Amino acid sequence: MMSKIIYVLDNNESTEYKYNICEDTIIYHFSINSSSRVEVNLVEDNVSLYYYYNNINYDDNEFNIKINHLSNNSHSEVFNHGVNVKCNKLTYNVYGVVLKEFSKCRCMQDNQIINMDNGKSTILPILLIDNYDVDSNHSAYIGKFREEEIFYLMSRGISRSVANKILLNGFLINSDSLELDKINEFVLEIEKI
Amino acid sequence: MLEIKNISCSIKDSDVEILNNLSLKINTGEVHVIMGPNGTGKSTLSKVIMGHYKYEVKSGDILLDGESIKDLEVDERARRGLFLCMQDPTVIEGVSNSEFLRTARGSITGEKVNLYTFIKDMENSMKDVGLDFNMLHRSLNMGFSGGEKKKNEILQMKFLKPKYIILDELDSGLDVDSLKLVCENINNYLIENKEASLLIITHYPRILEYLKPDFVHILKDGNIKKTGGMDLALEIEKNGYTNIDSMIGNDNDE
């Protein structure tokens, strides 16, 4: 079955998004230096949502996302990848909510923020699960690119700066199926980091 | 020629010394083996030669063709022809094998890699090492089995054409058939590249059935204790490392 695919791009703006998901959906959310609020309701039984948030940050910003499971056997996976370029504050509040009356749900989140400088980054994973029959987990990483990865790339002749570029690209454009012409603005922004 | 001169090293920010005044000379075209029990510094030696960030060289020098590489960055060492086939190759999510290989080759040769010739080259090379062609477009080492990771290292070796190759525990993670196949690839590489020399780091002599060494060194307590030929490796297989002092070969302790 094909999923519905949605592209969103924020550039220096603060926007609110609300979605009611009735069919399998993939949302690619690109954000340049923006504070956004996202609320997603999974309203049909058995639907799945994949949410990819890719963010380049320069000022103090906050990203709020809330996934409400309002149906049985619904499935959500949220991947938040941010690069905090300067010494500013970047905060992710990531909510996953499963109400008592809905079971067999899967509610997952994976959060990573790479600090390029000494920015103050915060990730708050908040899972509010009120039903026993739910599969749910979260992970969070804040820090630099792993020295081990840089070493591996450099050991094949790639310079440190190019290695960083490659890792940034891989981190912020992390799906093979992305249509790059739709996110040109974002791709150009990666070059500037 | 790769020459390691009286190298002593420790883990960064600690006093634990791992290599102690170790010397080793590998001439062009030679195959050397370093064997030794766990925790004697074999892997450390390979990483120190490559310039790994965890280790600090306290004294001594590493020379490539007579020039010191001790203070060079890791990528510069690679561009001078060093290649470390790692024991546990790193997984990098989001960076495709293909992008990685082309960037690496471009960095080493200084020329842009033509996509068409790259694909043709990979079709053949990946078949040679027994890797599925689709893996070219997957994230680097991600979801690869232990054996596939090792094959991917050898694929990189074939493509990047290094002069000094270090194999750190190549046999771990490889089944017998895969080990044989991978070693065939290395042997062919050595035949095609007469300038290339090889340093094999291993616990087990099994790999030496396929890669014939010119010299066998026994490493213990951070230093080479014995040097000999294939017969020394066979004796280790029979008797283990406990009585190396009474074994055949030349003593290296001064």
CB contact under 8 A, B100 and A156: yes
In chain B, DSSP finds a helix count (H) and a strand count (E) of 7, 13
The residues, ordered by sequence, that sit 6+ positions from A85 with a Cβ below 8 Å of its Cβ are A56, A57, A58, A116, A117, A119, A193
Tell me the pTM.
0.91
Per-residue pLDDT tens digits for B203-254? 888 899 999 999 999 999 899 999 999 999 988 888 888 877 777 677 665 4
For residue A26, what are the domain limits?
4-144
- Per-residue pLDDT tens digits for A57-66: 999 999 999 9
Residue A167 placed within a domain: no
Asked whether residue A156 is assigned to any structural domain, the reply reads no
Q: Give the DSSP letter string of B60-100.
A: EEEEETTEE-TTS-HHHHHHTTEEEE-SSPPPEEEEEHHHH
Q: So what's the ipTM on this one?
A: 0.95
Q: Are B215 and B204 in contact (CB under 8 A)?
A: no
Helix ranges (H only) for B130-202 are 146-160, 176-192
Determine what percent of chain B is predicted with pLDDT higher than 90. Answer: 85
**Domain of B86, in residue numbers:** 2-251
Rounded to the nearest angstrom, the minimum Cα separation between B49 and chain A is: 11
Q: How confident is the model at residue A38 (pLDDT cuts 50, 70, 90)?
A: very high
Q: How far apart are CA B232 and CA A136, in angstroms?
A: 56
CATH number, position B73: 3.40.50.300
pLDDT in tens, A141-162: 999 999 999 999 999 999 999 9
Tell me the residue length of chain B: 254
The C-alpha atoms of residue B163 and residue B157 are separated, in whole angstroms, by 10
**The tokens of A153 are what?**
């790339």
Interface of B with A (CB under 8 A): 50, 52-53, 73-75, 77-79, 83-84, 86, 89-90, 92-95, 99-100, 103-105, 107-108, 137, 139, 156, 160
Number of domains making up chain A: 1
Q: Kindly report the CA angle at B239 between B234 and B242, in degrees rounded to 5?
A: 120
The total number of structural domains in chain B stands at 1
Starting from the edge strand earliest in sequence, which strands make up the sheet with A75-84, in order? Answer: A4-11, A25-32, A48-57, A75-84, A105-115, A134-143
- Note whether residue A69 is domain-resident: yes
Domain assignment of residue A83, yes or no:
yes
Chain B within 8 Å of A144 (Cβ-Cβ)?
Answer: no
Q: Decide if A134 is inside a domain.
A: yes
Interface of A with B in 64-83 (CB under 8 A): none
Is residue A82 a part of any domain in this protein? yes
